[in-house]
């Protein structure tokens, strides 16, 4: 007997890189009735409605897309010429209208970006109804061309690899200060993951989903096993006790949809709460509170 996991994640950076293979994979998955699997893809997925149909029927819940930036010059610098910002909106709408949530990954702090990038990023996430987003800081990882260039230019602030985490500033930004980049990232998270913002995006996402013409296997509270219902109930009781009053109201409103059968995954609500908690707890001087020990040489440059 084939024992299937409740949640499956494909680690391939672009699951549709080989479209022929991807179609065969999704077609083979449909009879398995998986209801909770995730993958990564390029934004090109939004231009292939046939592929979206297959993915939805196969039970895909969410796709991680490296949007990276809403700044065209930044994308060109990353060799992402296939990513045209004006086409993002339609592509994301096509994906989410197919019943598949987009988890967008963004990077802040590229040389072509000034402090206007923060508001542009928050506006883009709101306007596209991307339910979940990861907002990272540009990080020159060792062994990359970016690291080598920043080292040549004397822009590396330190080489403590523990803080090359996508959440700290390890280099001197070109068009903003270190503090501006840290505060800007924190501000974007606060805008994107306020409870009102999450609720509004989720409502709009469900409207997108209601438009979908594709049909596939979905799981709701009514199809859960008794053991899963008991586990979910205990988890819910614990969360309701731990959260603040605003979070409690938000949680109850979200759960009304779930128990009414209008939402397909209890984990969505828990994930939303986790993102909100993360956003409101980012320290003002970086994700870990780390203050880089900058050498004398780089300190003078970092103040410029």
**Predicted local confidence at residue 241, as pLDDT:** 76
60-68 and 37-41: which strand pairing? parallel
Give the containing element (helix H, strand E) for 82. none
Q: Is 0.85 surpassed by the pTM of this model?
A: no
Instruction: Compute the distance between CA of residue 197 and CA of residue 177 in angstroms, rounded to an integer.
Output: 28
pLDDT tens digits, residue range 225-249?
677 667 767 777 777 777 788 888 8
Structure tokens at 6: 């409740």
Q: What is the DSSP letter of 135?
A: E
pLDDT tens digits, residue range 185-200?
999 999 999 988 988 8
DSSP secondary structure of 223-234: GS-HHHHHHHHH
**Vertex 9, ends 21 and 108: CA angle to 5°?**
100
**Predicted local confidence at residue 15, as pLDDT:** 97
Domain chopping of the chain, boundaries: 1-304
């Amino acid at each position: 007997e084939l024992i299937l996991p409740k949640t499956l994640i494909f680690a391939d950076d672009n699951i549709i890189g080989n479209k022929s293979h991807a179609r065969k994979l999704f077609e083979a998955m449909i009879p398995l009735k998986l209801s909770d699997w995730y993958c990564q893809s390029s934004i090109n997925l939004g231009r292939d409605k046939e592929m979206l149909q297959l993915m939805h029927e196969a039970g895909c819940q969410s796709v991680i897309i490296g949007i990276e930036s809403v700044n065209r010059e930044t994308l060109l610098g990353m060799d992402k010429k296939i990513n045209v910002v004006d086409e993002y909106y339609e592509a994301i709408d096509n994906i989410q209208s197919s019943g598949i949530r987009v988890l967008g990954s963004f990077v802040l702090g590229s040389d072509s970006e000034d402090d206007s990038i923060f508001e542009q990023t928050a506006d883009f996430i709101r306007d596209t109804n991307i339910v979940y987003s990861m907002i990272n800081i540009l990080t020159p990882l060792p062994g990359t061309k970016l690291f080598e260039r920043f080292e040549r230019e004397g822009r590396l602030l330190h080489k403590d690899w523990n803080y090359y985490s996508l959440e700290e500033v390890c280099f001197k930004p070109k068009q903003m200060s270190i503090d501006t980049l840290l505060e800007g990232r924190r501000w974007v998270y606060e805008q994107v993951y306020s409870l009102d913002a999450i609720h509004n995006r989720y409502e709009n996402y469900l409207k997108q989903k209601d438009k979908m013409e594709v049909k596939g296997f979905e799981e709701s509270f009514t199809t859960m096993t008794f053991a899963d219902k008991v586990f979910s109930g205990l988890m819910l009781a614990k969360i309701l006790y731990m959260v603040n009053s605003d979070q409690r109201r938000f949680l109850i409103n979200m759960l009304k949809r779930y128990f009414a059968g209008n939402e397909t995954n209890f984990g969505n609500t828990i994930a939303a709460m986790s993102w909100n908690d993360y956003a409101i707890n980012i320290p003002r001087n970086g994700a870990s509170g780390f203050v880089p020990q900058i050498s004398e040489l780089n300190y003078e440059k970092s103040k410029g």
